Structure 1
Amino acid sequence: GLMIEKTADIGDAPKAGDEIEYTITVTNTGNVTLYAIRVVDDLVGLDTTITQLAPGESREYVVSYTLLQKDLDAGQVVNDATVEGKDPNGEDVDSQVEITTPLTRNPDLSIIKSADIGDASKAGDEIEYTITVTNTGNVTLYAIRVVDALLGIDETIDELAPGDDPVKFTGSHQLTQEDLNRGYVVNKATAEGEDPHGEKVTAEVEIETSLDKTPALEIAKTGLYVDVNGNGVADFGDRIDYTITVTNTGNVTLYDIRVLDALLDLDATIDELHPGDDPVVLTGSYAFTQEDLDAGLVANRATAEGQDPDGDAVTGEVEIETPLLQEPDLEVLKTGVYVDVNDNGRADLGDRIDYTITVTNTGNITLHGVLVVDEMIGLDELIDVLKPGVTMTFTGSYEFTQEDLDRGSVVNTVELAADEIEEPEEPTEITPLEQEPSLQIEKFADIGSATRAGDEISYTIRVTNTGNVTLYGILVEDELVGLSETIEELAPGESVDFTATYVLTQANLDAGRVDNLASAVGDDPAGQPVGSETEITTELAYEPEIQLRKEADREDYSLVGEVITYTYTVTNSGNVTLVGPFTVTDDRIDQADFDLENLPDSLAPGQSFQVTALHRVSQEDLDRGHVTNRALASGFFVPAGGEGETQAIPVFSEEAVLTLPADQKPSFSVEKEGTYVDADQDGYLTVGDRIDYKITVVNTGNISLTRVRVVDAMLDLDFVIDTLAVGEVWTYQDSYALTQKDIDRGFVRNVVMVGADEVEQPSEKEEVTDLDGELPPVPVPPTGETLGYPLMGSGIILMGMALMYIALRRRKEEETA
């Protein structure tokens, strides 16, 4: 016999990755030796062979197996081992053993929560939480629900095996004022799942996060000075408007805050003030007294006291000083008004300055012992008391001297003193006396009848002292007339006249004027030069004029493309020389078609030159019936001394207009074709068969035709072609259904009539379609039915033509009327 045994050693509470140690013992329990014994254990990977095993002999094998998580989840490991060999007769001998190793299961779950408060210290700040869920057992857990009501977390972990990384959840809680007032936040989180056998596994955690309570109270105060009477000075009746603001600057609510300000008689209570609330604003006013003004400031103290949520006192205090500016000030204004006593319009001896002096206490305290002295006008006054806002006025006059006039100004200073002002500002009034050394030179020209070279112009030159001081050594010069004279002395208002003549030159006439410059220079009493000059331009009657004559090489034209040659004759018809560049322009000829390269540089009076240009006749010229050209010629007149075209005066001719008539030849042709058509295709000439007509109108003249009227009574056609260009073809197609009378007659006569506005007589075209021979005839109706029809048809056609001719003539007469 053959026996196999198996034992397991699991050791401590197992977990995935731990090992079970197996001992496998094979024993020959028979009485014969066994051979080729194969020992197999698939779980541990054992597959070995014992060559022979004597009766009673054993072999032992020690192997190990590494636990898997699924083994732990199952709670056991089942292991089979087999042994098989041969007896001496070759018969099979075998044995098998199965061992079940129970595993201890330890389902466990851990939940941890941490808080990061950061710098959260006020309502609205956030605390960041981290929740960590870990499988601390040795079996897989399922459907683990994680709940944190405060953070709004409700999540499920589908599966969490032992050794898996912990699952983390994060969330934040926004602090409320209640949290801060309480001083802490309590937060609880739970986790609940199932082990592999569906048993509940739970865990919970609760943490308390402390919050720092920092009760604080701030009271601030501002004072705004109000100038009640609007005088710009701190004085009685003005006030200070105070604004007291109470602010909760801590992070907890404050209660029953009492605010006191004795100066404003303020006693107010704020029931409750939360952090972040708008500051509570209290206001009051204080009208300061003279004592305050004398002291130069107003001191004011305010206090605030309340309680925090724990009942502890929280206080705040503020004191401000509002300065009152003491402004001892004295304003002295002095004005001087120049009086032109002799009313001569300038400063001179005998004139005076009238002074007005005003002394005003512009400060906010009373001034004493105010002394005002002005020696120039004989003023010496003492003001014992001068209250704020009070003004004293003093007046006086000063008659200035020649020395003042020579100096050019009067300087007057007021001397001041006052008990409360150490060095009052002493105003100085400077009244300028304008020295007006002035010299005027004038020139007058009498041209008389001077119109040509050799005629004379008479000049008068006048020099006048227009200032208020005497001038000396005045040199008067006029180079054009050869004048050079000296005036030794010239008093204000005096004048000296000089006369001279000038002979005109041709250059003057070409320039159209005579420019003449005269100057006078002398010295004022200080030896400073005083001068004046005048330039007079005497206009001369010049007549620059250009004349243009235009001629054509033919009397009319009749063809498109026909070339008309124009000749332009340009003549200087004025009395001064003209210079180029000369131009000839024509509104119907491009400037490039003129040959202007060989034109003269200048053109003396009476001289001429010619240019030619070509015009190619267009259809529009023929349709218009004439070519009207408007031409201009131009040159320049350059006054003597002018350089370049920028100095030139353009001279234009009168417009030369030439109209060349067109030899208009309006005409058209009319063609009409008629083709018989067996409409019913019965092979017979029958009623209902038709004639297809084609009418062609062609403009065969040399001008466009307008309102071309085409009339065909038989086809009920009366059509007007608005415009038919030269060579243009107009076509019209229509059909006429045969009548029995047409068949009986044996032919169809059709007349089309065409007229146009430009053609005197309308034209007609007759088309006769012979029906005989086209197809076999049909039975002939009684003889009397066809008699007179051809005559009647011809009469209708002639009548229609006459009416159309009358209508066309009447319309043309109305248009030309």
Structure 2
Amino acid sequence: MYTMVTSNSGPSSATDVVITDPLDPATTFVSATSDAGTCDFDGSVVSCDLGTLAPGSSVETTVTVTLAPDVDAAVQNTATATSSASDGDATNNASSTSFAPTIVADLAVTKQASAATVTAGDTFTYTVDVSNVGPSVAQNAVLTDTVPQGMTVESVATAPDGICASTAIGIRCDWATIEPGETETVTITVLVDANTPAGTLTNTASVASPADDADTTNNSASADVTVVQSADLGVQKTATPTTGVPGTPQSFTITVTNDGPSTARGVSVADFLPEGFIDPTTPTEGCQITGSVGTCLLGDLEPGATRTVTVNGVIAADATGTISNTVTAATTTTDPNGDNYSATVDVPLAPSADVSLTKTTSTPSVALDGDVTYVVTVRNDGPSTATGVVVTDVVEDGIALVDGTATAGTWSIDGWVVGTMQPGAEESLTISAVATAEGTFTNTATASAETPDPDAGDLTGSAEVTVAAAANLSIEKTAAPASVEVGEQITYTLTVNNAGPNAAIDMVISDPLPAELIDPTTTTPGCSFVGNEFRCEVPSFPAASGGQLVYTATVDPATASTSVTNTASVFATTADPDTTDNTASTTTPITGTGAIELTKTAGVPTDVDGDGAIGVGDEIPYDFTVTNVGPTTVSGVVIDDPLLGGPQTCAALEGTTLQPTDAVDCGPYATC
């Protein structure tokens, strides 16, 4: 408000007095009043017509203006008074005033949360309104908001006329100006940290500017939110393999997931292991298995985090049907979804028992009516228990089963009921039988079980037995006397036995005579000499029987041998299980030495010198006759006569063997 006093110091009246007051652009005209006259405003200048002003009088004029809100410099105002009368002193017809304006901007802030209660791990928004109540423009206004611990700023929506920036812990918004009556709205999106404890969090926003603030009590505003915790804990369970085989390893995998929004505190797992699941172990830290219950203390689980628990074990070999495994998960944090904290997995069982059978015989070759032994071995190589194991045994005609002894189950002529066999078990059946016919007979045994067998190719086993009549013949031979001279008789005794078990068919005893023997004879029935062979033929020689055969022969006087060896043998068309005793030999020494007789005769002398008389220097021829007068042959005979100069050559003796009574003539040999 400007007040102007116009006075007339005389001496005359001032007529047509006009006041002119141009207004500063930083001001806005409101009104103008005067004690006299009227005032007008043309948009920039206030003019007041005061009329006539008597000497010594004065008029007060008031001009009201408003200061522009954004004024930031000194405001000046000069008013002038004019009159149609002559003014003796015009120097005081104008008056000026100026002032530095005081900027007053009453900033106010309000704050609201989008929810009174929020869940840890969820987001919500704060709405902050910044208003300028005036009267001045608020310049360089700043809004700051630091969120409490447990919250994180995710974003800030910039106000229309401001610039906002955020960090994880707060925001700041700047305005160059906020006009009086203007409101700026800021939206802050905040995440409540998943692990924020339950309770109340207070958030305060504050605004300030360089202007004087008439009321600082509204420069800050707070909003409270109540934090609650909620964790949607879920659990899943899978089995590997999905179909179990009794007797084999089985694994279960437990997956615990926190779908938030809050941290799940004190997460625990209880795994109720099924019957038939044995030797359970777990490699997962924090887990242990007691009896048939596995427990895990997994601690805190952040939203979106997953923990995996593995349980390993073996399905019992005799388990059947389906095994079911149930696991539950728990947390001390409130769970909004109670439908997914438990999980069950069913594992259908497919038993598999690899049953195998082998059949052997310790009697692959037997004599007719002989004992036959079979051994049937049945084994379960698992992995599952084999139930209802049965062995059938088919025997060909020619082998008669007698008895069976089993290590398990029961045996009858119809088969062997083994029963139940655990993995790794092996049972055997020893079967006694008798060979009733000749030939090769195959005995086949077949195993079967109620439990499926992954390898049916080894359920059958066979053994062959060859049955043939057998006669264990043996022969012994003796000679008498113990030594013999040439020309003497020697007697041989052959003893033949059949140890069985069967009769020897078409039995033959053969004893070829050596060259040293001549003139053989025998009185044994059924025996004769064929050429130089002593031979006896018996159509059938019963088992457990024996007999002796005797023949004599003469040692050939002409033999030069010093002994005679004779070998006899026995054989038959019936197989002989032991031929080592089917021949027998004797060697008899031949005694006595050869005797040589030498006869020397002189021939008619020759008168070599012709003196008509036989004397020195004449020749006398000599002839020799060599005769073997002994019982044995003689060879290598040499005539040695010193008179004739020593050994003499006789072509008739060279390489010649002299038989007894043989005589050889040698000569004549001449000497002087």
TM-score normalised by L of structure 2 = 0.49
Larger relative helix fraction: 1
